[in-house]
Amino acid sequence: MKSGVGKTGVVAVRSGGPSDRPRCVLLRADMDALPVEETNDVPYRSRHPGKMHACGHDGHVAIGLEVARRLGGLALGGTVKLAFQPAEEVSHGAQAMIADGVLDAPTVNAAFGIHLWNDLPVGTVGVMAGPIMASVDEFEITILGRGGHAAAPHQTVDPVLVAAHVVTALQSLVARRRNPFEEGVVSITQVNAGHAFNVIPGRADLRGTVRTFGGRFFDDAPALVEETAQGIAAAFGARAEVRYRRLSGPLVNDAHMAALMAEVAAQVVGKENVKSGVRTMGGEDMSYFLQRVPGCFAFVGSGPRNGKPSPHHSAGFDIDEESLVIGAEVMSRVALRYLEGG
Ligand SMILES: [Zn+2]
Ligand SMILES: [Zn+2]
């Protein structure tokens, strides 16, 4: 076992199999929490004020530990590497672990992971080939105008009005610049300007995100956002500065590995409970592993069988814990199945 991989990541390796035909499978469990104050009144409520496991990553750690316990006592057809990964929510952890060599020595040939998923009832598993989680880009736009008296707008260049037009124009990218057969979301999530009712401020700041499953809109988005903001600003006599960052690419499941995972999931929950078509425009930095090695990421249903699930990232987030048993079964079996030569 090795700690401090990618800052606070932990990697456990169980070697096995013939040395002349080495095979190594990586099982990934992310472990970070979120800056949310928990409102659940349960014995396992977070003991850290302002922080809670609002995405189920504590469940991923529990599943990872159980998988280690199960595989620890078995003769394996190859090597299993368990990667407990930090900083998924801020999209840094997978990259940091890769930079620290988690995919090397021994070389990883395939990677699997799961996310407990409250949008699916417990007892179901969502698996499919291809892109299932979106790319995550972040942008910040500063609009520079000229401040002045609210009653004399002609003496100013109003960045608030420019910002409003920029917001509308960025939404038009999805409506009019994207091929409708490609998935895409643009969300402006922060708008900041001004400090008084009678003063036109000198600048306005916008922040937001672009999500895609790859393709043309993914390639074009940085230029489209920049040109749109700058073009609109120029039309009003203002200036726009755009900072655009790619955080993670789309998460793409390998067809063969997805078939393997669907097969073991069917053994665990029954074929009728393995769902195809479960996708989200949320992001996942598991995508960094799957850009480098073939693998599959699946959704393990953790919502209630009946009734409304608590949303991920909400202060009332909780899971049906039967999902932990299912997750551990699916992850152990997919590792064994892959090492058998699946
Ligand atoms: Zn999350
Ligand atoms: Zn998550």
Q: What is the pLDDT of residues 194-218, one digit of tens each?
A: 999 999 999 999 999 999 999 999 9
Q: Tell me, what's the pLDDT at 21? A: 81
CA 113 to centroid of ligand 1, rounded, Å: 14
Ligand positioned closest to the Cα atom of 31: 2
CA 237 to centroid of ligand 2, rounded, Å: 43
CA 89 to centroid of ligand 2, rounded, Å: 7
- pLDDT tops 80 at residue 342: no
Q: Tell me, what's the pLDDT at 341? A: 84
* Mean pLDDT score, 78-86: 98
What's the Cα-to-Cα distance from 226 to each of 18, 75, 135, 207, rounded to whole Å?
54, 55, 18, 13
CA 56 to centroid of ligand 1, rounded, Å: 8
Q: Tell me, what's the pLDDT at 105? A: 93
Q: Tell me, what's the pLDDT at 18? A: 86
Ligand 1 (single-atom ion) residues, CB below 5 Å: 55
- pLDDT tops 70 at residue 188: yes
Ligand positioned closest to the Cα atom of 89: 1
Range in 16-25, 31-40, 89-98 the model is least confident about: 16-25
CA 71 to centroid of ligand 2, rounded, Å: 25
pLDDT-above-70 percentage for the chain: 100
Instruction: Return d(Cα 183, Cα 164) in angstroms, integer.
Output: 25
Q: Tell me, what's the pLDDT at 113? A: 98
Q: What is the mean pLDDT of the chain?
A: 97
Ligand positioned closest to the Cα atom of 29: 2
Element (H, E) at 299: strand 295-303
Q: Tell me, what's the pLDDT at 331? A: 98
Output the six-digit token pair for 58: 């504590």
CA 227 to centroid of ligand 1, rounded, Å: 31
CA 127 to centroid of ligand 2, rounded, Å: 16
* Residues 322 and 62 sit within 8 Å (Cβ to Cβ): no
pLDDT grade, residue 178 (50/70/90)?
very high
* Mean pLDDT score, 313-322: 98
CA 59 to centroid of ligand 1, rounded, Å: 12
Other C-beta atoms within 10 Å of 107: how many?
11
CA 218 to centroid of ligand 1, rounded, Å: 22
CA 57 to centroid of ligand 2, rounded, Å: 6
Q: Which residues have C-beta within 8 Å of that of residue 45, sequence separation ≥ 6? A: 38, 52
